[in-house]
Amino acid sequence: EAQVTQNPRYLITVTGKKLTVTCSQNMNHEYMSWYRQDPGLGLRQIYYSMNVEVTDKGDVPEGYKVSRKEKRNFPLILESPSPNQTSLYFCASSLWAGAGNTEAFFGQGTRLTVV
């Protein structure tokens, strides 16, 4: 089954404790991205990757890191989480770097709470 898999689905952590949210897709997609969803703000892009070893900042990259060492995986790293990073996070992938004209497939989401 074609899918984007995120883990964990739920995470409660303390301020400053490094964490990683994993994302994996099995569709051989080139383009992957991370979004955060906050009430009233919609989905905002954190980082994106057009292919292996190619990543770039989205609209809200502060406090986040990503890596793309393999085509299928695109982990999101919070080196020192803070309460304002409490949010619902989504990983998405699409077929090729022209993300505007192909369907974006989203994972199930990771609800992160930083206390």
Partner 1 sequence: QQQVKQSPQSLIVQKGGISIINCAYENTAFDYFPWYQQFPGKGPALLIAIRPDVSEKKEGRFTISFNKSAKQFSLHIMDSQPGDSATYFCAASIDDYYIQGAQKLVFGQGTRLTINP
Judged by CB, which is closer to partner 1: 14, or 28?
28
Q: Is residue 41 involved in binding partner 1 (CB under 8 A)? A: yes
Among 59, 82, 83, 84, binds partner 1 (CB under 8 A): 59
The smaller minimum CB distance to partner 1, of residues 34 and 85, is found at: 34
| Three-state SS annotation for the chain | CCCEEEECCEEEECCCCCEEEEEEECCCCCEEEEEEEECCCEEEEEEEEEECCEEEECCCCCCCEECCCCCCECCEEECCCCHHHCEEEEEEEECCCCHHHCCCEECCCEEEEEC
Give the footprint of partner 1 on this chain (CB under 8 A).
4, 31, 33, 35, 40-45, 48, 50, 56, 58-59, 90, 92, 97-101, 103-109
